[in-house]
Structure 1
């Protein structure tokens, strides 16, 4: 059966990759994000990828009433919601005391409180119609900590606790599932788009997963709901180290963060996309991994050109 899938944060990174993944599976989509022009492009891309129908709803999910309006738009367009995927998130780099309070607060408002709001409207709808799957996007930073990302870490720890609570409360609701997808480092633009008060542009520490890999994990949860799915080869190792050897972990995490989680590129203090979107910076990839499909197409094109030239010479 064709599903109706709501995706928040659909214009960039994991959200955009998830929208395209569900589109490729023939689902009907309701896409939400702040950037109207990018959302229109994602809508066109999803239609080309095979979506049975697409509705885009430009909105800021931190605004009062936005999530209720999104739910109403989805039901008016397609009659129901089967899967709600929440991926919207922003980040801010800096020592806690140097990040402006309003920036810290809005990171938490976006990454935790808006996720709670999405869960509230989704679960109310699922309870009313007799079933549905809520998929929240956490982070390995919901299980461990890292310096210079206090707002994001606090939000993801809160989201971890919220998800567990929702799973317990929905245990007796037939057909209702609550899932958490927990990625480690992912090749998305969120690091370049983050607010920054640290003086150096952030980057994802190695190893880095593709946004498409996380999107497949999200879509698989819609097919076969699970409590939590971890995406990242070192996630478990980092979690074990955080719990088993906290003193050693705290001693190493600062130098490792400065070495692997920050570039050498200087940057003046700025609030990134915390308060407003930057359409020019929105994409699936952040450029931290090679674009293998494009590379394969380029190599294939060159091989075809060489082959054609050889054939012409042989004739």
Structure 2
């Protein structure tokens, strides 16, 4: 079965990575089931997906903290399209603040959405995939699932849990001999989405995207590639890959680096911010958006241009040295 024939469920599809991922699959001609709390934003996302040839969409407003609602999401996907080939657990929220300052109700909400929401999604997806004998479950974690951050305690905990969930599920499927059901984990670096504006914030400082910032489309491409070529874990963003390598070789140094960078560039030193629950308990109104205004795509292009220029310069220098050496010989 080709990629364009696949049925894909995406949670958190109203904006950011989820919305970019839904459109990436629609572009390939997949049937896409879009789930999130905000129906208006889901309808807008579905319209964007439907512009692509062969794409079919289904909007299912869903609170992923409700296990029954997630099971209903799976049932509706199967009723509409006959199966579920790919399930992307992506819906996530965040709360920033000193550990003692984040209200416990907000702490619990982050863990409920980011951990139990993924548990509910995995159970619903694997039930269908076991019956089919095949499928791919993709969990969106984060590089903070490898190196935690200060001021983001519940989010860091949740993303570590998502990695653990993926690992334990892969092991269980292996023990049971289910080789055609894959569980993959994606660890993005900082991504240009509305995530940071929508987070709960008790730091007193405005939350900004910690550079370098990458585009959500880059994550979406990684997700699509995992369906073609399943892998255990994939890090998105060169800075993320460098941090993960550092964490393996020198975990203490990685923690100190993350602490400094978070305090210096993830929280503004110029703009204050009032305490807010963000969109933890009530979803944001409106049609939603893929990008957060942090210019991830433009910055990625600038970095690539700079790297290409540096490589070209190095090649030119090497060429001149070789020429001089040949003349001297």
Q: In 2, Cα distance between the equivalents of 1:273 and 1:177? A: 32
Are 1:39 and 2:46 matched, yes or no? Answer: no
Q: In 1, Cα distance between the equivalents of 2:81 and 2:189? A: 34
Deviation at 1:244, TM superposition (A): 3.9
Deviation at 1:246, TM superposition (A): 4.3
In angstroms, what is the RMSD of aligned CA positions? 1.7
Do the aligned residues in 1 keep the contact of 2:134 with 2:181 (CA within 8 Å)?
yes
Q: Aligned in 2, Cα 1:170/1:200: closer, same or farther, shift over 3 Å?
A: same
Partner of 2:278: 272
Do the aligned residues in 2 keep the contact of 1:31 with 1:57 (CA within 8 Å)?
yes
Give a deviation string over 1:8-64, Cα, whole Å, max 9, x none: 000110000000100100000111010011111111111012353111001111124
Which residue, out of 218, 221, 224, partners 1:216? Answer: 221
TM-score (norm 1): 0.89
Q: In 2, Cα distance between the equivalents of 1:34 and 1:51? A: 26
Q: In 1, Cα distance between the equivalents of 2:130 and 2:58? A: 23
Unpaired segments of 5 or more residues in structure 2?
A: 299-329
Q: How many correspondences in the alignment?
A: 293
Partner of 1:257: 262
Q: In 1, Cα distance between the equivalents of 2:22 and 2:227? A: 13
Unpaired segments of 5 or more residues in structure 1?
A: 293-315
The answer to which of 117-126 and 280-289 deviates more is 280-289
Partner of 1:85: 88
Partner of 1:305: none
- Three-state SS of the structure 1 residue aligned to 2:78 is helix
Deviation at 1:253, TM superposition (A): 3.3
Which residues of 2 match residues 1-315 of structure 1 at below 5 A?
A: 1=2, 2-171=5-174, 172-263=177-268, 264-280=270-286, 282-289=288-295
Give a deviation string over 1:167-186, Cα, whole Å, max 9, x none: 11112203101111110111
Give a deviation string over 1:120-172, Cα, whole Å, max 9, x none: 11111101111100011010001001100000000001111111011111122
Partner of 1:306: none
The answer to which of 258-267 and 76-85 deviates more is 258-267
Q: In 2, Cα distance between the equivalents of 1:281 and 1:103? A: 25
Deviation at 1:255, TM superposition (A): 3.1
Deviation at 1:116, TM superposition (A): 1.2
Q: Aligned in 2, Cα 1:51/1:212: closer, same or farther, shift over 3 Å?
A: farther
Do the aligned residues in 1 keep the contact of 2:191 with 2:216 (CA within 8 Å)?
yes
Deviation at 1:94, TM superposition (A): 0.2
- Three-state SS of the structure 2 residue aligned to 1:134 is strand
Deviation at 1:276, TM superposition (A): 1.6
Q: In 2, Cα distance between the equivalents of 1:250 and 1:174? A: 36
Deviation at 1:290, TM superposition (A): 6.2
Moved over 2 A (4+): 49-52, 239-255, 279-282
Q: In 2, Cα distance between the equivalents of 1:8 and 1:290? A: 22
Q: In 2, Cα distance between the equivalents of 1:225 and 1:249? A: 28
Do the aligned residues in 2 keep the contact of 1:207 with 1:233 (CA within 8 Å)?
no
Partner of 1:295: none
Q: In 1, Cα distance between the equivalents of 2:59 and 2:115? A: 23
